[in-house]
Amino acid sequence: MPHHLMNLRHVPDDEVDDIRVLFEEHEIPFYETPPSRWGISMGGFWVHDDTEAARAKTLLEHYQNQRLGEQRARYEEDLAAGRTGGLWWRLRHKPVTTLAACVAIAVILVFSLAPFVRF
């Protein structure tokens, strides 16, 4: 019976490449299904064998923890250097894009709530 190891929807290409290399280095026989273009199927990494699935899950967990630490450190570095930030940072550095997104959110909210609220 196939074991689904990881969903590939919204996973960056560099992470997918790292996982392929990880499985190949540890000689885990896997196969991959790509996510659909329209977001209907999630795609992922799969294995058939139960013991290989357990090994692969352990490797994936270790890899994900390591990647989380690296990404968090990169974010903290960008935050300290002023290359990223929250809403106020985005509003100061990209005002048009930020305001357009806020207006779009407000319009969606108005249309979504209009049938339930009397004005």
In this predicted model, what pLDDT tens digit does every residue of 55-76 receive, in sequence order?
999 999 999 999 999 999 999 9
H-type alpha helices, the chain: 13-25, 50-81, 87-93, 95-113
Q: Which residues pair with 6 in a beta bridge?
A: 45
Q: In the structure, what pLDDT confidence band is assigned to residue 10 with cuts at 50, 70 and 90?
A: confident
Taking the C-alpha atoms of residue 33 and residue 65, their distance in angstroms, rounded to an integer, is: 24
Exposure b/e, 38-75, CB count within 10 A at least 16 = b: eeeebbbbbbeeeebbebbeebbeebeeeeeeeeeeee
Taking the C-alpha atoms of residue 51 and residue 40, their distance in angstroms, rounded to an integer, is: 30
pTM of the model: 0.72
